[in-house]
């Protein structure tokens, strides 16, 4: 019985790290995706798809912890924009910059269109995760 307790107690202090690999047995980063070896499966990654109007309804959920999030907008804004979604005038890929400060100095964060905004990839990470 004593050895069982030592075994359980010892397992509590093991530092476990994980990496996820898709189509690879030994990933070299937190997430590594390799192309499929099957000729019938297309390659690539599809991010979450949504409309700009539905994303605008979730403005309050995006803060510094979501910095660098990217998403695919399939339908641009149909109604008026918020300060965060003001750039969503066309469909495409967008990245969230949590450190952008608007002119009102109170609102932070904006969605920037990838591949058209030169500063879209300048989102600065602050988390140690």
The per-residue pLDDT of the chain, averaged, comes to 82
Res 49 pLDDT > 90 = yes
Distance CA 102, CA 86 (A): 11
Strands 70-75 and 49-51 turn out to be parallel
For the stretch 67-125, pLDDT in tens is: 999 999 999 999 888 999 999 999 999 999 999 888 888 888 999 998 876 665 554 55
The pLDDT, as a whole number, for residue 23 is: 76
Confidence class for position 20, pLDDT limits 50, 70, 90: confident
């Amino acid at each position: 019985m004593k050895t069982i307790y030592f075994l359980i107690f010892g397992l509590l202090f093991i530092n476990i790290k994980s990496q996820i690999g898709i189509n690879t047995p030994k990933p070299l980063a937190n997430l590594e995706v390799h192309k499929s070896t099957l000729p019938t499966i297309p390659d690539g990654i599809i991010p979450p798809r949504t409309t700009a109007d539905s994303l605008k309804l979730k403005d309050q959920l995006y803060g510094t912890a979501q910095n660098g999030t990217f998403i695919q907008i399939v339908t641009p804004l149909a109604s008026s924009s918020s300060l965060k979604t003001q750039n969503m005038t066309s469909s495409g890929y967008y990245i969230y910059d949590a450190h952008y400060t608007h002119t009102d100095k109170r609102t932070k964060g904006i969605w920037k269109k990838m591949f058209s905004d030169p500063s879209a990839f300048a989102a600065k990470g602050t988390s140690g995760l």
